[in-house]
Structures are given as C-alpha cells and as structure tokens.
A and B are shown apart, each in its own frame.
Chain A
Amino acid sequence: MPVRIRYFAWVREKTGKAEEVLDLPAGVGTVAELVIWLKGLGPEYAEAFARADVIRAAIDQAHVKPTASLAGAREIAFFPPVTGG
C-alpha cells in the first residue's frame, strides 16, 4: 500500500527530498523495520539514517516509538529531536 513519507530538517537535507510516496514491501511492519528498509534505498538514505537512534518518527502526525506498527498509516515522518521554543 502506498504511504507518504516525509523528512524534516537534516533528515530532509540528507535524503535530498521533503517527501515521497513509497510502496512498502511485506515484512516492513514497524517504524524500525522501515528505517532499515529505507537505508537500503541508496547512499543518501544510508547517510540520512546512519544515526538511526537519534532520529524521531511520527505516524499520521503523532509521535511514535521505533516499535510502533505501520498498520493503517497514511503518513510517516522522520526528523531529528525537536529544537523549538
């Protein structure tokens, strides 16, 4: 099923794109599994997700943990720890 993936801040700069729509293969069921799959898409993804432990994720605009299920997700976002305020 196609899912919109969005990237922010230095994750966006390293992947070279703000968003894209990807068909996730069977077997990619969690945020952590998606990160591993994305890292295989190309050197820019491998670089963007090299510090995978630092990167935060959101599903449908709500913060989630790496163990979160992607079932039913329409939009998944990856970004560094937030620095507003």
Chain B
Amino acid sequence: MSVRVQREDFDIGAEVRRLAAGRTDIGAIVTFTGTVRSENDGGRIAGMTLEHYPGMTESELARVEAEAGKRWPLQASLIVHRIGALKPGDNIVLVVTASAHREAAFAAAEFLMDYLKTSAPFWKKELRPDGAERWVEARQSDDRAAERWDRRK
C-alpha cells in the first residue's frame, strides 16, 4: 500500500513489477492510467498545470487507499499522481490494485479513482493554444461516481 506525488513520469510496467515482486498470493492486477487529452469541453489543449496541497494530498490519498483496503481483500495497491506542467498524451495518474481474484481488483481500482477525483486536493489549469489559461471546473458526474460507493457501503 503506497501513494506518491511526483513531477516525474512513471513507468507502468516497472511499477507493476515492483508491486508484485516476490509475491505468489496475487492472482489479479488491475492498472488504471489517466492521461492528458488534447481536447476538453470542445477546446484544444496545449498543456496543463497540476497544483496540489502538499501534505494534505498525501494524507487524502492514503486515507482513500486505506478505505479501499477495508472494503476489498487487496494484497497490494499503489497510487501515483503527477504534478507540475504536463502536455497532451502525458500520464497524470496511475492506480494499481492487486488481489487474489479480479472482482476485488477491478472494483477497488474504480473506487480509488472515483474517490481520488472528489477528495484529493489537486487542481488542473488548462493552457489553450492561444496562451489563454483556464481552471478546470469540477464535474457533477465525478461527485455522482463517488457517491454511488457510499450507497453500497
């Protein structure tokens, strides 16, 4: 179980190998990678900057990860989130979940992303090709995605 906030890119294969190294109790590994789109709300994106709240970010990610560990039998999990300046196509976030069976790994990965999007203190600022900047607005659909896990609790 670990969380990381970093400027550098991540290597999905290397992260999965490290997480599973020396273990034979894992039967299913799910990875989710979020990347920067070149278009959002009908406009072209030249890049984006990710700001965060150092300290609170790590504690919120750890809280969300611990909650997933309570709900599903996970052998391991990992959250890596990038900050700083990113370009279209760049990786933003990686979630890896490992369990004995796929159901828990799939569900926990989705839960981690849904919760992370509504509670971890990150903010995206988009840069348009003409140099204009715009803070990304939170989506109601993300709130609903997180709320459906509350109903299942």
Q: A85 to B113, Cβ gap below 8 A? A: yes
Segment from A28-36, A40-48, A56-64, A65-73 that makes contact with B? A56-64
- Chain B residues with CB under 8 Å of chain A are 34, 50-53, 55-56, 59-60, 81, 92-93, 113, 116-125, 135-138, 142
Once A9-B123, A84-B81 are accepted as A-B contacts, the answer to whether A77 and B135 lie under 8 Å apart by CB is: no
A-B contact count, CB below 8 Å? 70
Interface residues on A, range: 10 to 19
Q: Are B137's CB and A61's CB within 8 A?
A: no
Q: Please tell me if the beta carbons of A85 and B135 are within 8 angstroms of each other in the complex.
A: no
Which chain A residues have a beta carbon within 8 Å of chain B's beta carbons? 6, 8-10, 58, 61-63, 77, 79-85
A16 and B59 alpha carbons, distance in the complex (Å) = 27
Decide yes or no: A82 and B122 within 8 Å by CB, A9-B135, A10-B135 being known contacts.
yes
